[in-house]
Structure 1
Amino acid sequence: MKDNDPSEMHRRDLLKDAAAVSLAGAAAAMGISAGAQDAPRTAPPQPSHSSLIRDENAKPGARDWQLTRVRLDKTGGMRSPPIEGYCSKQSVTAGESIEFMISTAPAQKFVIEIFRTGYYGGRGARLMTKLGPIDGQPQPLPEVGEKRLRECQWKPSTTFTIPDDWPSGVYLGRLTTESDTTGFGYWQNYVVFIVRDDRPADILLQCSDNTWQAYNQWPDGYSIYTHPKGNQGPWADVSFDRPYGKYSQIFENPQTIGSGEWLCFEFPLAYWLEKHGYDVSYCSNSDMLTPDRGLKCKAFISNGHDEYWDIRQYNSVVKMRDEGVNLLFLSGNSVCWVSPYRDSSTGAANRIIFRGGPYGGDHTWAELREQRHGPFPHRGPDEGYLMGVRNVSPVNGGGDWVCTNPDHWIFAGTGMQQGEAIPGLIGWEYHGDPPADIPGLEVVAEGTALQGGVNPQKWAATIYPGPKGNFVFNASTIWWCQDLASPPGHWLPWSHWSRPHGPDDRVQQITHNLLRKALA
């Protein structure tokens, strides 16, 4: 979509009409005035009319849900042949069935313990059910297909129907073998899936599973980034019909194998939201191809590393903003690449993606990407007019998150002063270059990120008013949720000689303030 596209012009007209809905007015409506950053810290919003998440988290958590014994195929390997698997769907609703495709080598029995991740008194997960023992067999490595596609066609090991009383959430199936013939004991791995619902929840939290799959190198160096032609072109297809291998960037953590990037970069936000009783529902990137789900919620959150969006996701979220849904991009490198879905070889919907082209419209970043790596078959609109800021080059590095607008209502109760920094919160990818012509857009934090002490790039965190009293906030960092909570099963990442420090009461308070306004 180009800048002269009629739908884009209409969208900008709506933004101009919304200029009167200033952030100062929003602050006044909240009873927050200039200088309110010195006020006492505010409590979380009053509980939603729905007690679903509070009631769920009152149930006993599991003491043992993490992976204990993991065996990779080789030093530096990505897969775990003793036991590994994948699910037939990214997300599923209560009452629907999901298939688990599991391979064990050698053939042996195994069990699947299904846990819902959440707060649960600080334990981080609850055991929902246990399946098995199940007879496991070795399943074949797929051939290398066109565009280096590795698409498994494994036989289902078991089919499971999601009970009607299972709430929306991110679920981990912990796979555990019986003692194997080598005498080394049992081995473990995860499968991951999302249970979605259709209720009018306060918050819709989108998992960044397109990005999980784009970086997934299972079985041995096959991802969007590992094509012999280079790591940035439109040359590689990747399939959800394969296990998630060990996470391949930032840190070495085999205990997250099979869980995508959920435990690495996204779980702390869900843990924190559920700890405070927020009414939250969860969805996959693939659930946002229409705006219907999001239009039932008050706030939509993009979480973690949310790089790959089908153009239909983009259009859905634009529609949600224009209809009054509040958007919180607690993420970095988001809405960066157009990633069209296509069906699997067996006809299952939305199971293959590739890097179709950059977002950016006529922006210099998109032009630069095509000059370096194109031509691409697709070009997306300028993501800055949705998020308030854009992807920039270099897009990765690290730095401190520096307050530049302390009188803004998002800082109420934090005590933050002009120039005060939250150490290491920017990374490892971020946003910058806010469009100058979004009415009411304000920069609330900004600074410089560095790649290992070199290659400086300006980043910016922004907020702007939507057309119906709503707002769009962009934290401008993948690592925002690292400073919200440190749940079991999560390690702090580091990159480019920079790292977040973990839970920080200022980040927690800013997030409470944003949600208080969004849910008012």
Structure 2
Amino acid sequence: MGTELNRRWESGTHAHSVSDPFGQGPLPWLRSPDQYLAGTEGDVPWYVSVDAPGQRPLAGGVRGKPPVGTPLSANDEEQQIKGFASAGVVRPGGSVDLRVTVNPPREFTVDVYRIGHYAGDGAHHMTSSPLIAGMAQPAPMVAGRTVSCHHWWHTWRLQIPPHWRPGAYVAVLTTADMLHRSHIPFTVRDFEDQTRAAELLLVVPDVTWQAYNLFPEDGRSGASLYHAWDGGLLVGETEAAVTVSFDRPHATAGLPLHVGHAYDFIRWAERYGYDLSYATATDLHAGLVDASRHKALVFPGHDEYWSEPMRRAVEGARDGGTSLVFLSANTMYWRVELSPGPSGEPNRMLNCRKRQKVRSDNPAAGAPGAASALWRDAGEPEQHLLGLQYSGRVATPVPLVARHTAHWFWAGTGLHEGDGLPGLVAGEADRYYPKVALPGNTERVLLAHSPYQDPAGRTRYQETSLYRAPSGAYVFASGTFAWSPALNRPGLTDERIQRATANLLDRLCKNG
């Protein structure tokens, strides 16, 4: 993204979230009259797929049209209503504090949804707040390129009833005049529940979400690890932030870029009854995840930024017999550090210098002597864990070409050697690098080998990997952005990917 792209709506965050079908994903509370399909019996919301088996609305489940005056998404220039969740692990029986700014000050409400299948609805409404008096919070603090709202006042405390299930939740903020709306994602965990341990632990990539967060997307002060606003110009990576804060809203609609990847997997997995617990990448970093309690750790979406404690925890999980499932591409690419926020809360600052020069005592400095913040430059290529690693961007979606289709992974899909699954190589892609060492394994197979064109027009190859570690743990890496959307995204669902993923998870859950 060059400096000539200097208008808010042309920035990387907003443009990508609009144009990338693998980004936000269907959100059932975002409805307007033009998002309904005509010519159907009753009106079918846009997030319900009418062409994927099992995704059709239940008989008699006709939904009415949305009310007149559907709120617009708040923007980061005026910040009509924006917010974020304070630090802390959210548990059933606990609470989560929301910090919200409303400009101009007026009352607002909070509706809380839990992401899941819910007979095709995609989410379930859990509770609504009373009218809350909104206030205009102080302007975000800016130090260099780092933007933080840690000084905002606490606005509302959401008590989490003990009977609420762990999961991915979204607080939907709506001004009382129904003019503007924004969102706050948060995760409810169950680490302290020693009475049961779910077979699968889903790890939400909150660290990567913050790396992409350009809040405030206002043309003046917003910065991410990719871009920064400077005098009305959007500058690129060499001038972007090296430290970003978790204590701020997400840009534009308040939802992270690529959040849809996680939501797609959750909806599909809960529909078919997979036993899930939930954690965040920050929890993994903080040592809160006991991988030995689970059959597998599932990384459902774009998970690009990893600290050393995250990597060591996952390597230890694999070596201890817990399987790993990576359902996206470009995983564990950048090496990062997490540090305390200005108020002392741990792990509220994300530090990564990428290719910039910083002082050696800066938390973003990374591994001593490394040319950049890439794990590869620190001497630990991601292939050592994943079995493959990031290759590049995909210019236009192309088929994923199945290989070794006699393998149990592809059983029941009907695929033959060399068959293509349309559009399944998209966004970014991974491949096996022959000159990079492989992890120790007792068996290994490449399940796809797919040609694609990169943005420069060069032919490259995507691959999908599965290997078994000496501990008996399996490690699967899809090598493409499009895998999770193929599980449950309207218009992108592929039954063969659904079946293959079920083959994998069933083996992990039933056979260990």
CA distance in 2, matches of 1:193, 1:334: 22
**1:431 aligned counterpart, secondary structure:** strand
Query: With structure 1 as the length reference, what TM-score do the two structures score?
Result: 0.74
Specify the code of the residue in structure 1 equivalent to 2:295.
K
Q: 1:482 aligns with which of 481, 485, 488?
A: 485
CA distance in 1, matches of 2:153, 2:65: 29
Q: 1:272 aligns with which of 257, 268, 274?
A: 268
Partner of 1:518: 508
Q: 2:237 aligns with which of 208, 231, 243?
A: 231
Greater helix share, structure number: 1
Partners of 2:334 and 2:373 within 8 A in 1: no
- Most deviating of 136-145 and 390-399: 390-399
Partners of 2:375 and 2:382 within 8 A in 1: no
- Give the 3 Å change call, closer, same or farther, for CA 467–340 of structure 1 in structure 2: same
**2:82 aligned counterpart, secondary structure:** strand
Q: 2:136 aligns with which of 106, 129, 138?
A: 138
**1:263 offset after TM fit, Å?**
4.5
- Give the 3 Å change call, closer, same or farther, for CA 195–437 of structure 1 in structure 2: closer
**2:270 aligned counterpart, secondary structure:** helix
Partner of 1:192: 185
**2:262 aligned counterpart, secondary structure:** helix
**1:463 offset after TM fit, Å?**
0.7
**1:175 offset after TM fit, Å?**
0.7
CA distance in 2, matches of 1:172, 1:430: 29
**1:107 aligned counterpart, secondary structure:** coil
CA distance in 2, matches of 1:374, 1:297: 31
CA distance in 1, matches of 2:354, 2:379: 7
Tell me the matched-pair count: 420
1:52-63 to 2 correspondences below 5 Å = none
Partner of 1:148: 146
CA distance in 1, matches of 2:402, 2:238: 33
1:489-504 to 2 correspondences below 5 Å = 502-504=492-494
**2:389 aligned counterpart, secondary structure:** coil
CA distance in 2, matches of 1:356, 1:335: 15
Gaps of 5+ in 1: 1-59, 180-184, 247-256, 359-365, 488-500
1:111-260 to 2 correspondences below 5 Å = 111-179=109-177, 185-198=178-191, 199-220=196-217, 221-227=222-228, 230-231=236-237, 235-246=241-252, 257-260=253-256
Partner of 2:43: none
**1:335 aligned counterpart, secondary structure:** coil
**1:374 offset after TM fit, Å?**
7.1
**1:103 offset after TM fit, Å?**
0.6
- What is the Cα-based RMSD across aligned positions, in Å? 3.1
CA distance in 1, matches of 2:496, 2:425: 15
CA distance in 2, matches of 1:443, 1:265: 23
Specify the code of the residue in structure 2 equivalent to 1:324.
G
**1:379 offset after TM fit, Å?**
2.8
CA distance in 2, matches of 1:343, 1:455: 43
**1:436 offset after TM fit, Å?**
5.6
Partners of 2:335 and 2:373 within 8 A in 1: no
Partners of 1:357 and 1:379 within 8 A in 2: no
Q: 1:70 aligns with which of 69, 72, 85?
A: 72
Partner of 2:295: 298
**1:430 aligned counterpart, secondary structure:** strand
CA distance in 2, matches of 1:303, 1:156: 31
**1:456 offset after TM fit, Å?**
2.9
CA distance in 1, matches of 2:264, 2:385: 25
- Give the 3 Å change call, closer, same or farther, for CA 233–322 of structure 1 in structure 2: farther
Partner of 1:410: 409
- Give the 3 Å change call, closer, same or farther, for CA 174–65 of structure 1 in structure 2: farther
Q: Does 1:93 align with 2:106?
A: no
- Give the 3 Å change call, closer, same or farther, for CA 291–344 of structure 1 in structure 2: closer
**1:424 offset after TM fit, Å?**
1.3
Partner of 1:451: 454
CA distance in 1, matches of 2:227, 2:179: 32
CA distance in 1, matches of 2:121, 2:105: 33
**1:354 offset after TM fit, Å?**
2.2
Partners of 2:74 and 2:82 within 8 A in 1: no
CA distance in 1, matches of 2:201, 2:73: 36
**2:90 aligned counterpart, secondary structure:** strand
Structure of greater relative contact order (alpha carbons < 8 Å, 6+ residues apart): 1
- Give the 3 Å change call, closer, same or farther, for CA 286–261 of structure 1 in structure 2: same
Query: With structure 2 as the length reference, what TM-score do the two structures score?
Result: 0.75
Specify the code of the residue in structure 1 equivalent to 2:181.
Q
Partners of 2:338 and 2:349 within 8 A in 1: yes
